[in-house]
Amino acid sequence: MKAFICGGGCGEQTAEANRRLSEVIDNTKPILYVPLALPADTYDSCYEWVSGELAQVDVPRIDMVRSGAELAAADLGGYSALFIGGGNTFKLLSELKESGAFESIRDYLRHDGVVFGSSAGAIILGRSIDLAKFEDENEAGLRDLDGFDVMEGVSFFCHYGSGSAEHTAHSDEYLRRLPAGREIAVLPEEITLFLNGSRAEVIGEGDLHCVLNGRRRELFPAHGTD
């Protein structure tokens, strides 16, 4: 399994992560872009954005799906990586689970597939997406909030510190008040966590930390592998 868990940045914030992505994928296969967290009428403009965002990744082309059903029917083995973008986390996970695409992605990961998740796409890689309610509305009425759990019990909180000081303080208070036993990896936009089997690599400059039982600590002692 190879999973890139990105705090939600773009451009220069994720340039190093994109370079690392290009190094670990099969460069003869295209990337499949999954924009399903966003409204359907934005997909064309989203495709233009991701084409620029991944311009330095060495692949023959970038394909895009427009529905969970299309994703579930796709031959994921024909792709070097899935790039799952941001938007409403509840909408994204709901469409994946209702269509059966969730199981397709899980199987792809189990067979050494590469998934790059950004923002909502990163949050669904965690144990649960319930933390997304800090920013997102559950308009889909989703009840099953279980994600892919790629770090075995760790959930992900993205975009940390990207707003005002007041917003960051509100984030800290929210995380401190979570029920005991919750382990949360808190990612600023500049950080991408790359899981490569049993190894973890922190890409980018910033403060990657974990909240466990309301207390903050560094997730890894230093950037690099663990």
Assign 3-class secondary structure to the chain.
CEEEEECCCCHHHHHHHHHHHHHHCCCCCCEEEECCCCCHHHHHHHHHHHHHHCCCCCCCCEEECCCHHHHHHCCHHHCCEEEECCCCHHHHHHHHHHHCHHHHHHHHHHCCCEEEEECHHHHCCCCECHHHHHCCCCCCCCCCCECCCCCCCEEEECCCCCCCHHHHHHHHHHHHCCCCCCEEEECCCCCEEEEECCEEEEECCCCCEEEECCEEEECCCCCCEC
pLDDT at 90: 98
pLDDT (0 to 100) of residue 209:
78
Give the per-residue pLDDT at 17.
97
Q: Which portions of the chain are predicted below pLDDT 50?
A: 221-226
Residue 218 confidence (pLDDT) = 65
Output the pLDDT for position 223: 42
pLDDT at 192: 96
